[in-house]
Amino acid sequence: MEELIGWAKEIRKEFHKIPEIGLETVETVKKVKKIMTGFGFTVIPIEKNSCVCILKKGKGEKVLAFRADMDALLISEETGCEFSSKNEGCMHACGHDMHISMALAVGNFAQGYDFNGTLIVIFQSGEEGCDGSEVMLKEGKLLSKIPKPDLIYGIHVWPEFDVGTTVLTKGPLMASSSFFQLQIKGKGAHGSTPQKSIDPILIGSQIVVNCQSIVSRLTSPFDPLVLSVTAFNGGSSTNVIPESVKMMGTFRSYNDQLRIRSEKVFIKMINNTCEMYGATNKIKLKGLPTTTNDEGAIDYIHDLAKEVSKKIVYDYQTMASEDFSLFLHKIKGAFIFIGCKNEDQKYVNKLHHPKNLPSSNALGYGIKLFAKIIEKHLK
């Protein structure tokens, strides 16, 4: 096992050097396919630049799946580490290089282990807001190409926790989210004659303020909801009221119904506010469900996690979201966090930060847990 973990640490460096964005994980998936084929897996390409790797041994009917995401972020790396990104402006700042490495280590472990059943390892592109799992499940028709797994697990490294920590949350772990893009079109005018304009900045500002009433007055305080306007762009001069403004933002909740209801109220509020002033609008909204862990899937691995980890954290939740949620809507399973805090002071332990470098020492905890799950489920 120690040799396998050492191998995974080296492989992680290779993938850290070649981060790729969104659904365009071309080189990454090419490398993955080569390695997994070498381990005896049947590798099936899936839309878009994802792949699924299948290995069957013995006569067992059980089917176990693991999923790793592979994409990186549009961030210029500032870690200064010896295996820094070679792709200018791109960086594995969310630890997906760690996930690839752990999933490949599962393949490496499985080639030499005499299990009984079917093991499926899924490598997914486009997790970071690019609909990767949706594309894979819909257009790639993933589930028609594989035997249906009885259980699926995914792992995310989490820098808030020390190496050796495993997070086992039953129920909602990560939030349901929606992202919106809004354009308000009014009428431009000279800044000295606002009566001749339909001022999209004023209308947009009222919308920003009213968003917070959706949170504070239309939602129970016992049901967490976050609504953040994260971009507000319009105008370019001190004396011109612009024709239009563009806004962006996000909803987060642990309750899919609440999110959907809030989106409806939000759209109504925008339409009514625009109508009141004679403005028009275009709105695009896209949502992801809550990442909700199956209680049975957590219970199933509890003792295994205890055996391999230094510490277990229960009931942790975050308002971040994750498209593994779509897998959990179709297959029983769970998403696990493992601590990856880097003790070296020169790094910043925050995902999506240019100085974030998850500790390679976390890899062993994920790999051992995956190996234990194979031993238990495919015996």
**Which is closer to Zn ion, CB of 8 or CB of 94?**
94
Which residues in 273-332 contact Zn ion (CB under 5 A)? Answer: none
Nearest to 102 by CA among 146, 77, 72, 69: 69
**Which is closer to Zn ion, CB of 203 or CB of 336?**
336
Q: Minimal distance in Å, beta carbon 258 to Zn ion?
A: 23
Dihedrals phi, psi of 354, to nearest 5 degrees: -65, -15
Query: What ranges in 278-362 are assigned the alpha helix state H?
Result: 295-308, 325-330
- CB atoms < 10 A from the CB of 134, how many? 15
Nearest to 70 by CA among 21, 16, 13, 124: 124
Residues binding Zn ion: number (CB under 5 A): 1
**Which is closer to Zn ion, CB of 157 or CB of 245?**
157
Pairing state between β 42-46 and 50-57: antiparallel
**Which is closer to Zn ion, CB of 132 or CB of 172?**
132
Q: Minimal distance in Å, beta carbon 180 to Zn ion?
A: 19
Nearest to 92 by CA among 38, 180, 15: 15
**Which is closer to Zn ion, CB of 134 or CB of 150?**
134
Q: Minimal distance in Å, beta carbon 367 to Zn ion?
A: 18
Q: Minimal distance in Å, beta carbon 109 to Zn ion?
A: 23
What secondary structure letter does DSSP report for 239? S
**Which is closer to Zn ion, CB of 20 or CB of 199?**
20
Under 8 Å between Cβ of 146 and 42: no
CA distance 218 to 317: 23
Q: Minimal distance in Å, beta carbon 94 to Zn ion?
A: 3
Nearest to 35 by CA among 77, 7, 64, 5: 7
Tell me the chain's radius of gyration from C-alpha atoms. Answer: 23
Q: Minimal distance in Å, beta carbon 352 to Zn ion?
A: 6
- What track of x and - describes contact with Zn ion for positions 80 through 109 (by CB under 5 A)? --------------x---------------
> ω into residue 48 within 30 of 0, thus cis?
yes
The token pair that represents 64 in the structure block: 């176990």
**Which is closer to Zn ion, CB of 94 or CB of 374?**
94
Strands of 159-241 (E only): list them: 165-168, 171-174, 176-185, 189-190, 225-233, 240-241
Length, in residues, of the chain: 379
Q: Minimal distance in Å, beta carbon 129 to Zn ion?
A: 9
Q: Minimal distance in Å, beta carbon 37 to Zn ion?
A: 26
Q: Minimal distance in Å, beta carbon 60 to Zn ion?
A: 32
**Which is closer to Zn ion, CB of 31 or CB of 156?**
156
CA distance 365 to 308: 6
Question: Nearest-CB residue to Zn ion?
Answer: 94
Nearest to 53 by CA among 65, 42, 68, 39: 42
**Which is closer to Zn ion, CB of 124 or CB of 281?**
124
Does 336 contact Zn ion by CB under 5 A? no
Residues contributing to the site for Zn ion (CB under 5 A): 94
